Structure 1
């Protein structure tokens, strides 16, 4: 190598090192202290276990403000004297009390560290009362950009709702804003102008009324994730029905705006079709005690537990379009089906860290095709899930960064759904597959979980070696390619390529008219055919195929 070439090579390596360093530095800069305080189980969070909230607020539409208190009851797991509560600016905590005594609060961004005076004794229950007020962040593009939506309906009545999965519950109320810990129950008391109604999670206990306001008291008797706590304020009307479900009678309540009652009575029929299909696939609805509600909202919709919000314009598909491009997506109202699917995967089974958000979105995306299959047949369901592949980008892994409130790629939807459908094909036993889906909701009933727990359960119940499968689809971006060719003796040679080295799933192929299952990994294998016959992969596998001989 000449001196010039040697120096050029060294310079190239130096530039690559500098670029790598800058990229890593920028990545580190993007993870701030605020991200860590929000996304990790800090020492000020780990020592206490949420038991109960009483969120007691007044919503003031004219000033777009909220004022009120949140009483937090908790179990002391070990002795500690500092407790973290989260509330995002411009909301402000005005006072925190324990046993009637005011406590010092040290603020670090959205994290508020309450300095407890009373000795915290392991095994005992304690509570604090947090007073707060302010004008919460307004959502610009809900539900993706979180916050409060302050809008008006066609009759100029206020139409208000929260949507805050990504940004967090602390955008509008003080809470333990980390998904690993859920309150076992919550009382939600919301005072609104007298001519309006508030609809929240759970069952309505009572309504208090004075000359100018009404206060609605809603009680949730099951564990609930923080982002699922919900207020909906508007000129609502109410109708209901009883669904005879797997656990008995289930009250299903519907709250459209007053002038949309006729539309709702027609469109919301999809709710019982949803319940029938998903109880079949996933097991009993997880919140019989709290009922099920569909509530009209001033944005597209979201999976608030037992209070699913709806803004799809009373039409089928996703705002009138079919996300699968197959026609099957126009057979149902996407928001009713998708957001209700989250009652099983998001509200019943909840991630411990937002990096594992695929547990919510992949299973719920897949639930759309299972709904189609239940009502229109397996062929239709398979066509639907395959049709969603056009939305997959394969640029970022599905799993995000742990401990810093970082979710993974949006591919957790369509790619995740197709991953699960591929897994069903590998298992090749629909009864066992259904039992796995139902078993997940039984094994992890009302729990927060990790990806590893979900993987271990599926591996155990399927009896399959799936470690490399999950690594490939959840932690990498390449899509496995089935490479093959015929030699001169018409023996088929095949392997997996464009994948991690340990990838080793079997594949169903049709060779000529014969269907066979081939064991495959990243090393070349052989299958004696005798003729150079066409090879077609099972289209329900989300993989690629490449004939190295080009014919």
Structure 2
């Protein structure tokens, strides 16, 4: 998902999320409204091998006709298949292994569809389920934060359609297992749209058929995130090219843009290779180089749809001189699509790492000033109300909700924590830990890794193993507690006494740097064993804590600025009334 500390105010974003959730509450069942609910036992008992999905998008009636053939391998004896599908769709036909089953064999009262099998499937056996359905898909009130379909018109008058279903889940589009671990190993998409509209899709193009005024585009993708399977329809034109990777392979590039945007689109397309160069140099090989790096212009802000990232930022450059939206969504090809969180409670692995990629990219492009300035923007947005990890299963809504959940802190607190970790353990261990998390190896090369699931606990174990130290204290405070640690400095008879005050008095032996004197003074390292340390400092000598801004810590100035901004906004709104 696509926040921006520079272009979208935190308060307006939170209000939009709340309004969107309340607006659709009456329309969607709880099962369809929440993504990432515990899987049914029958869903845990299968490996999802293949999804063959046919979609007919009918803009004139804002409706969808779907035909899904789903292949599962049983990991345990199976007597039923359970799918998630928006109950507002009408199901016309259900088949098991090519044979229609009676209506009495299946039900979908609350959006969790249960299909009784004609005969049990033994462990290691396979079953193919077909569901033919149709209806008016749920409409997004404010995509991408509110999931659903966007039915729009291009500036030239043609239909312009997009789906964005991260928050509410894949069941708003197709019968799926709406859980991060519900990824199908292979997906075929057949997208039928009115000619001459174009329908870019996930993965690689297999072909296009045109008949009776309709076009069907065929796409094939491997291991896509469930919410990354998407529909995009419009009067698109394509810019294509190639990127020659440092790893020896060639990555196809494609940008589908609206007619009339050719010049602006060419400028954005020119950024593709530079972004690929950054990620491959700093993180590792582009995970889907055998498919494509694809981007499509959309009537909503954006979303990390695998190999066909949604882009709706209107070609804006921010104050740092690059398109933050494109770069953020593209970062999710590594942190979200290659590495997928095993549970929504681990969503900071997507958003925290993805958000850190923006300052890191600016450091790569232009150096330290832009890097620290971008981190400062993120720091100003922290709320620190709810831990970014709770250590228990959560739904997408429970994580993103700003009042009861972690909200934007999974983005910015996650990013700033990674900046602090990098300073603590050093670049070599830090970037190696990312590669092991993302690829499962320190030496990734095209062909020697596959998409994988990751957890918070796994990342902590990776850091401990690489450093040979136990950094549980670090993650206990930053990930599992809401409040930030406070660094207390007090002068005494001989100098400066330092101590950490961590939430719940947890151990926090974070080393601290102190600059003695003015801007050109000596910088000393204070070990802080037991969370305490001391610096000899003559009376009257000025000092600066953490002069290189390595530490994420409680600083009252940020809360004061937020409080002042909120009060001024409230006063302005009252005056306007």
Cross-structure match for 1:366 = 356
Q: TM-score when scaled to structure 2?
A: 0.83
Cross-structure match for 1:352 = 342
CA distance in structure 2 between the partners assigned to 1:383 and 1:438 by the alignment: 26
Cross-structure match for 1:536 = 544
Segment of structure 1 superposing worse, 50-59 or 401-410:
401-410
Cα drift, residue 532 of structure 1: 5.4
Residue pair 1:232, 1:297 contacting (<8 A) in 2 also:
yes
Cross-structure match for 2:23 = none
Cross-structure match for 1:69 = 67
- For residue 313 of structure 1, give the secondary structure of its aligned residue in structure 2: coil
- For residue 230 of structure 1, give the secondary structure of its aligned residue in structure 2: coil
Residue pair 1:36, 1:403 contacting (<8 A) in 2 also:
no
Cross-structure match for 1:483 = 488
Cross-structure match for 2:503 = 499
Cross-structure match for 1:180 = 181
Cross-structure match for 2:372 = 382
Cα drift, residue 529 of structure 1: 4.1
Assess, with a 3 A threshold, how the Cα gap between structure 1 residues 89 and 452 changes in structure 2: closer, same or farther.
same
Does 1:125 find its partner at 2:126?
Answer: yes
Task: Please tell me the root mean square deviation across aligned C-alpha atoms, in Å.
Answer: 2.1
Cross-structure match for 2:382 = 392
Does 1:460 find its partner at 2:465?
Answer: yes
Residue pair 1:78, 1:122 contacting (<8 A) in 2 also:
yes
Cross-structure match for 1:156 = 157
Residue pair 1:85, 1:113 contacting (<8 A) in 2 also:
yes
Segment of structure 1 superposing worse, 163-172 or 376-385:
376-385
Q: Which has the larger radius of gyration?
A: 1
Residue pair 1:270, 1:337 contacting (<8 A) in 2 also:
no
Residue pair 1:495, 1:521 contacting (<8 A) in 2 also:
no
Assess, with a 3 A threshold, how the Cα gap between structure 1 residues 37 and 101 changes in structure 2: closer, same or farther.
farther
- For residue 207 of structure 1, give the secondary structure of its aligned residue in structure 2: strand
Cα drift, residue 314 of structure 1: 1.1
Assess, with a 3 A threshold, how the Cα gap between structure 1 residues 545 and 365 changes in structure 2: closer, same or farther.
closer
CA distance in structure 2 between the partners assigned to 1:102 and 1:226 by the alignment: 26
Residue pair 2:162, 2:299 contacting (<8 A) in 1 also:
yes
1:211-264 deviation digits (Å, cap 9, x = unpaired): 2100000111x2111100011100001121110113311110110012112210
Cα drift, residue 413 of structure 1: 1.1
Segment of structure 1 superposing worse, 497-506 or 61-70:
497-506
- For residue 380 of structure 2, give the secondary structure of its aligned residue in structure 1: helix
Cross-structure match for 1:264 = 265
Cα drift, residue 68 of structure 1: 2.1
Cα drift, residue 545 of structure 1: 6.2
Does 1:337 find its partner at 2:327?
Answer: yes
Residue pair 1:496, 1:521 contacting (<8 A) in 2 also:
no
Residue pair 1:87, 1:93 contacting (<8 A) in 2 also:
no
Assess, with a 3 A threshold, how the Cα gap between structure 1 residues 254 and 89 changes in structure 2: closer, same or farther.
same
Q: TM-score when scaled to structure 1?
A: 0.87
Cα drift, residue 283 of structure 1: 0.1
Cα drift, residue 124 of structure 1: 2.2
Consecutive unaligned residues of structure 1, counting only runs of 5 or more, are: 1-30, 318-326, 547-551
Cα drift, residue 458 of structure 1: 2.2
Cα drift, residue 44 of structure 1: 1.8
CA distance in structure 2 between the partners assigned to 1:294 and 1:383 by the alignment: 28
Cα drift, residue 438 of structure 1: 2.7
Cross-structure match for 2:40 = 42
